[in-house]
Structure 1
């Protein structure tokens, strides 16, 4: 009865740990960037609501542009991290490590776990477009 030496599996587990660490890092980046997005947009909408009653028309028009730019920049960085996660997952599957164990517990739920990260930058951008349209009506 020949069994593989424990050291034969060591490189697989080391690669698994390295890929899992990369995956976790990118997942944490998405979390932080979503928090930046929500906090920045909340502050910008609060300031915009305060300024919309003032007579500073150029600021009322400028805030939506700035809000769209902030949402776009953070959205691009979120999508970059999501792409990096897909690259890590591709490397994981190509190495055959899925036989050891799963990289992510969320793989069975489809892409619903990414829905907030993928859609919130567009939601905030659309809200700023509505604010801009309302500013032009006044």
Structure 2
């Protein structure tokens, strides 16, 4: 009985760790995208008569490309953490979340949010 309890505690600790990694990656996503959108907006406000205006114009497509790259990188790392949670649950057999459907529902936002940022940056690049 004590062994099962120790196994559960170890699995629960790993679960919490992966969950925290998802949280940290979402924080990185939001901070990075906020800074990139702010930089893009600031560059758009640059008057034509400024020195280095041509260089600033060359930077404009770089920022959305960087935003897409960062969002995709963080999406992959979030999906990896989600896979780790799934494997942990299947491997241990412990009920570490309420149910599979509830857990999946909770992971929709962390997975879709980076895709929304990719879409927003892609729209900016296309326009």
Residue 91 of structure 1, CA deviation: 1.1
Provide Cα deviations, 1:70-126, integer angstroms capped at 9, x if missing partner: 101111111111110011011121xxxx4xxx3123646252101111101111001
| Structure 1 runs not aligned, ≥5 long | 1-8
3-state DSSP of counterpart to 1:105 = coil
Using the alignment, how far apart are the partners of 1:81 and 1:110 within structure 2?
Answer: 13
Runs of 4+ in 1 over 6 A off after TM superposition: none
Would the aligned equivalents of 1:106 and 1:113 in 2 still touch at CA under 8 Å?
no
CA RMSD of aligned residues (A): 1.4
Alignment of 1:26-105 (within 5 A): 26-54=18-46, 55=53, 56-93=56-93, 98=94, 102-105=95-98
| Structure 2 runs not aligned, ≥5 long | 47-52
Report the number of matched residues.
119
Would the aligned equivalents of 2:97 and 2:103 in 1 still touch at CA under 8 Å?
no
3-state DSSP of counterpart to 1:111 = helix
TM-score, normalization: structure 2?
A: 0.87
TM-score, normalization: structure 1?
A: 0.80
